Chain A
Amino acid sequence: MTDELISEFVAEAAEHLAKAEEILLALGRQPTVDDPEAINACFRSLHTIKGCAGFLDLPRIRSLSHAGEQILDALRIHELGGSAAVYDTLLSTVSRLQDLITQLNDPAVMVPETDADCLQQLESLRNGPPAATKATATASPPAPPAASTPTAEDPLEVLSTAMAELIISGPADLGGITAIIDRIAQSMLGGAWNPETRPVMTRMRQLVDDLAGPQSQDRFRELLDLGARLESLQRAPLPQLAPLPAPVAAPQAEPLPATVHEAAGGVLGEFISEADELLNHAEETVLGRTSFTAEQVNGVFRAFHTMKGMAAYLDQPGIERAAHGFEAQIQAVRDGTAPADDVFAATVLAGVDALRELVLATKRQAASGAPGPAGITAPHIGEARGESADAGVARPTSDAPVPPKAGERVIAEGPVNRPVEKTAQAPPAVKSGGDAFSRVATAKLEELMNQVGELLIAQAMVQHNPELPPNSQLAQAVGRQGRILRNLQVLSLSLRMVPLRGTFQKMARVVYDTAKKLGKQVDFTLGGEDTEIDRTLAEAMGDPLMHMVRNGIDHGIEMPDARTAKGKSAAGSLRLEAFQAGDDVVIRLIDDGAGMDAQRLRAKAIEKGLIDPALPMDDQACFQLIFLPGFSTAAQVTDVSGRGVGMDVVRRQVEEANGTVRIDSTVGKGTTFTIRLPMTTAILDAMQLKVGSENLLMPISSIVEMLRPKPGQVQTILDRGQVIQHRDRTLPLVQLGGALGIRDCVTDPAEAILVVIDNHGSDYVIQVDAILGQRQVVIKPFDAGVSHHAGTSGTTILGDGRVALILNPAYLVRHSDGKS
């Protein structure tokens, strides 16, 4: 099994799944319409994936696609009737498959440990009680079991009471919690429950069993999350007109208030976006803090209170009730009857998550209710879910029936902090100020930039044409055209830029979860979140930052008592900040933890056989050792980090983005990581150099200085290599023309210009014919098929329409033997 086969499979499977998803979404909109063609197409897609997965020995993908295929087969031969529930289940299967397949390419993508939940749902579709099938056949709605079951109280009532009790009881009261969960489970047997709640319930029961162990706080919070999920699942209305093949005994969900449809465009949309803001605000307030001022508590209280009021006004009883429940909890803190501590923070976070789910459900209802025929109000989960085919983008939690574990939350926390992504997914029916975004394929943006660049060149040719009469009206018009075009270029480039805020805010959650897990206290602050950076880079930095944050808390920040013993505050400080420095963006992660001992790192690396003991190393080089694969300073492998993976990802991903990482550390004082990235992957600030008849571009960031050599400054070593004495340093001299095979260039250094290149310690000097000045150029990478000198990283198109090469200073010197 080769990587090539896998990546081919990934690409093909992604296409199949995208197609299947599209079909399923369409089918789900009209579940009763029989469309054998569409079902067949879907069946074929999953069948192909199954076959390939079998061949490539990917058992999870194989068995999941097999299970999905079986359902589609049943649909095909009308053994099973189509319904919104069936298509929803298939959709969640498809999206799990997408995650699994994405993970093949990008191991950083988090996928739940097992597919038991998906498989179970699929299984239950197939093996639905015969009674239900019969009900479909006779087209008579199943009798509500309310009359026959003693426990058939309103599930939502049961849940909200239970959740409120849970929050009050806290994680310590095991017996109480078990009783509460049992009560919910009991109620479930009554039948008036959405079948999707069952896997969630299963997970809740597992959690209760684990509550006695370590990390009970985390588990408890997850339990609260799950409760909120149950509530939102239950609240999502069941398909009422659709035939019911699944073990849905009685659809008894709350009817969708009519006002939702009417309000969908206006008031409700505003509510949704405002709710988002309120919840974000509440989350930001509590994250990273363990003690709170009265003002902060009040702020959080107001957020929930406002939510409650708005929900009441809009006739959203579920949200109103939930908001009220949490408001009451916060009220207790406000009154001073409960402490404003980490339990308070956990409560608020649980509330934020619960309300977010509910708001999301409302949004879905509004979206699905608007275009479809009246009555079918099943949520098109797929519409609210990211239908993005973006590799490496994890999906919002609403996707998976069971939320990921605490440690995985970070990435899965999609809906919160990705404004662009989120709004792009928003169905058009939900209109609000925050949703004024559209999703555009990157390829189209690239093409736009290409065309604007071409237009600029074409315009310059007119403007500088000698036939153009100077000072004429025509010349003026052409000049104005040029200015508009340059604005257009700036605009087209800015389309790729996003603020780092989204990426940074995700880290707040990582900090919270990691600190909790390790029992450490961290005071996390952000700075410069509005710094803009290329979209692809902002996304690419998510993983490295996460690893750095985790690592910083795990290895850097000490336990509270150790810190107090050293005279530090019990809570460690961790600051993540960004700023623009020239055309670079600098991201810094600063902790005031234990710091690193350069010599200890070196000894450790020698002990592990990772480096040559004879090699002299400065402190910076020693610090960089932590980026080596397999290097870990943790005495014990912890749950969080220390397996020797992670930090090597940091450097690799940063370097892939043409950036650098620097580490500064003082033992006992703390560590600072400094990532320096180009603001964009598309634009480069470069010096245009002339060698022979060729134009070459050297990134400005690598140029230290330029000089004309004085006589005798260039010397020969062993009659071959040339060196230059410059500012007390002896630097190797590279004749660029010779290194790149360019003829007709100046060979005598005395007549040439020398450029000193910064190459991270191994600096060197290149010899060029002339310097033509600084340019901002659009980078065009080489085609995959074009082999080229490693010292060239790409091309660009100059103002005269000619192609020029961009130099890669890191590889220019390694490939040159210094010969002239």
Chain B
Amino acid sequence: MASSSPSTASGRVTGTYLTFQVGREEYGIEIFKVREIIGMLPITPVPGSPIEMLGVINLRGKVIPVVSVRTRFGMPAVEPHPHNVIIVVENQQGEIGLAVDRVAEVARFTEAETEAPPAYGLAVDTTCVAAIGKSQGRIRILLDIARVLGDVTAPAAART
């Protein structure tokens, strides 16, 4: 994970992130966790799964779950858009898809460009945030993907 120490001013790159937009915010996940980016596919809902889990998709013959980053962070659902994509990431359980509004770029952050997340005041649950990336005058929320997906895999009450 990116260092959260704000004091050091070294120019060392602490991480390369794939950034994406959800709502008006831009998020990043470590690039080495990303397997691929695919266009939106038909998603089959799975009864009894947590609300943020949109369902499962057919990824070349493999059935993998897809989680909505929007719903995960409590944002309202919006109409589908052609820019919507699924970012397939690898976590402990295997491959899992993250549905996001659109992909932005691949960005590198030096240690000086990252700082610890504020403990309050963000529209998102900060336990999932590894660091805040500041470069080119923009703020990017760098996610700890294991924590983002951690709750999704916990059993939830059936949605009956």
Which positions in A face B, CB cutoff 8 Å?
450-451, 453-454, 694, 738-742, 780, 782-792, 795, 797, 801-805, 815-817
Contacts and interface: CB of A to CB of B under 8 A. Distances in A.
Given A741-B159, A797-B58, A815-B158, A783 B64 contact: yes
B158 A786 contact: no
Nearest to B65: A786
Contacts of A454: 60-61
Interface stretch (B48-56, B98-106, B116-124, B125-133): B48-56
Interface in B10-41: none
Given A450-B62, A789-B49, 14 more contacts: A780-B63, A783-B96, A786-B49, A786-B53, A786-B153, A787-B154, A788-B46, A788-B48, A789-B160, A791-B47, A801-B58, A802-B42, A802-B58, A804-B44
Top 4 A-B pairs ranked by shortest CB distance?
A: A789-B48, A785-B93, A450-B61, A789-B47
A739 B160 CA distance: 5
Q: Which of B65, B96, B160 has the most CB of A within 10 A?
A: B160
28 contacts: A450-B61, A450-B62, A451-B61, A453-B61, A454-B61, A694-B44, A742-B45, A780-B63, A783-B64, A783-B94, A783-B96, A785-B92, A785-B96, A786-B53, A786-B56, A787-B48, A788-B46, A788-B49, A789-B47, A789-B160, A791-B48, A795-B56, A795-B63, A797-B63, A801-B58, A802-B58, A803-B63, A805-B46
A780 B94 CA distance: 14
Nearest to A803: B44
B63 A789 contact: no
Nearest to A781: B63
A411 B37 CA distance: 49
B57 interface: yes
B93 to A, nearest CB: 3
A816 B160 contact: yes
Contacts of A782: 46, 63
B156 interface: yes
Contacts of B55: 803
Given A783-B65, A786-B65, A801-B58, A741 B47 contact: yes
Contact of B156 (A453, A787, A802): A787
A492 to B, nearest CB: 12
B61 A789 contact: no
Contacts of A742: 45, 47
A787 B49 contact: yes
B47 A785 contact: no
B155 interface: yes
A714 B37 CA distance: 49
A738 B160 contact: yes
B58 A792 contact: no
Nearest to B159: A741
B133 to A, nearest CB: 28
Contacts of B47: 739-742, 788-789, 791-792, 805
Contact of A741 (B152, B153, B160): B160
A790 B45 CA distance: 14
A795 B45 CA distance: 11
B4 to A, nearest CB: 28
Nearest to B155: A787
A101 to B, nearest CB: 23
A787 B154 CA distance: 7
B44 A784 contact: no
Given A785-B153, A815-B160, A816-B160, A790 B63 contact: no
A780 B57 CA distance: 12
A786 B67 CA distance: 11
Most chain A beta-carbon neighbours within 10 Å: one of B53, B58, B160: B58
A786 B58 contact: no
A789 B46 contact: yes
Nearest to A796: B63
B47 to A, nearest CB: 4
B64 to A, nearest CB: 7
Nearest to B53: A786
Contacts of A802: 42, 44, 58
A740 B160 CA distance: 6
Q: Indicate the member of B45, B49, B61, B96 with the most A CB atoms within 10 Å.
A: B61
- Which residue of A739, A780, A787, A788 has the most chain B CB atoms within 10 A of its CB atom? A787
Nearest to A819: B160
Given A454-B60, A797-B61, A816-B160, A694 B45 contact: yes
Contacts of B154: 787
A804 B43 CA distance: 10
B44 A792 contact: no
A804 B47 CA distance: 12
B155 A803 contact: no
Nearest to A736: B47
Given A741-B159, A802-B58, A783 B44 contact: no
A743 B60 CA distance: 28
Contacts of B57: 803
Nearest to A780: B63
Nearest to B44: A803
Contacts of B49: 786-789
A573 to B, nearest CB: 48
Contact of A805 (B44, B94, B159): B44
B53 to A, nearest CB: 7
Contact of B94 (A694, A785, A791): A785
